[in-house]
Amino acid sequence: MPAEAQSKYDQRLVFVLKTAAAIFAEKGYHSTSIRDIARATKMSLSGLYYYFKSKEELLFLIQDYCFTTVIDDCRRLLAGVSDPVHRLKLLIENHLNYFVQNMNEMKVLSHEANAISGDLFKKVNNKKRQYVDLAMKLLEEIARDYRINDLDIRVATFSLFGMMNWIYNWYSPRKDVDVAGLSQTITRLFLSGFLGDKRIQTEQLETGRESHLERSVSIWQQ
């Protein structure tokens, strides 16, 4: 972890991973050839295989490294904070901050989650489950504290991750608000939505819920 303790090998590996992640993020995992990575790193095709033993393992190394850091940072950040709302707020902040600061790797983690298989998939997926569980447990705790019983916690949890993980599809550090603003907006959107004013739900949102659902059964249905 500490940057000054990295061996030559480790530095080179990180360089390869970062370069590969950038290309994966741009063209997608399957459209990227090892030859693309060789060109970008100025290494030979076979020289790359000194650092990973298959293309799939290369993807794994990127995803695992990335996920491990997010979770570790998150745990460190939450340590000693007991208020679940505050904890959730820190989780969101950490997630978004890391996401924006490591957009390539996080895009590869989010978008290529199913491009990996077998044991390597299981390994990454276990980390993901831990992380999602952490968030879901927080929401359950908050729901208990605030007596929120009309919200499906699983839907709420993945709605939150949807808001956060979707940003690789649109966020541009150049044109958009900065990370602090992004974090603030999403935190406010989600949290005041979750804790939300019940009046808004019942009075404004209850009207005519069933009347038009059959409309979007499309030609796909035959």
Partner DNA sequence: TATATCATCGAACGTTCGTTCGAATCGGTT
Partner DNA sequence: AACCGATTCGAACGAACGTTCGATGATATA
- Residue 36 or 140: the one with the smaller Cβ distance to DNA is 36
Which residues in the 52-111 window bind DNA by CB under 7 A? 53-56
Nearest to 28 by CA among 8, 68, 55: 55
- Residue 5 or 46: the one with the smaller Cβ distance to its own copies is 5
Tokens standing for residue 91: 């989780």
Rounded to 5 degrees, what are φ and ψ at 76?
Answer: -60, -40
Give the distance between the most distant pair of CA atoms in the chain.
65
Residue from the set 17, 20, 22, 43 that interacts with DNA by CB under 7 A: 43
Query: In the bound complex, what is the minimum distance in angstroms from residue 78's beta carbon to its own copies?
Result: 10
Site string for DNA, 167-186 (x = CB under 7 A): --------------------
Residue 146 contacts which entry, DNA, its own copies, none (Cβ below 5-8 A, type-dependent)? none
Q: Which stretch binds DNA (CB under 7 A): 33-41, 131-139, 166-174, 177-185?
A: 33-41
Q: Cβ contacts of residue 77 below 8 Å, gap of 6+?
A: 90, 91, 94
Residue from the set 14, 18, 28, 34 that interacts with DNA by CB under 7 A: 34
Site of tokens 């979707």: 166
In terms of DSSP H, where are the helices of the chain? 8-27, 34-41, 45-48, 55-78, 84-101, 103-111, 118-145, 153-165, 179-194, 198-199
Site string for DNA, 13-32 (x = CB under 7 A): -------------------x
Examine residue 35 and tell whether it contacts DNA (CB under 7 A).
Answer: yes
Q: Cβ contacts of residue 164 below 8 Å, gap of 6+?
A: 92, 95, 96, 99, 186
Contact status, residue 189 vs residue 163, Cβ threshold 8 Å: yes
Residue 71 contacts which entry, DNA, its own copies, none (Cβ below 5-8 A, type-dependent)? none
Examine residue 147 and tell whether it contacts DNA (CB under 7 A).
Answer: no
Three-class SS of residue 117? Answer: coil
Examine residue 199 and tell whether it contacts DNA (CB under 7 A).
Answer: no
Residues that bind DNA (CB under 7 A): 7-9, 12, 32-36, 42-47, 49-51, 53-56
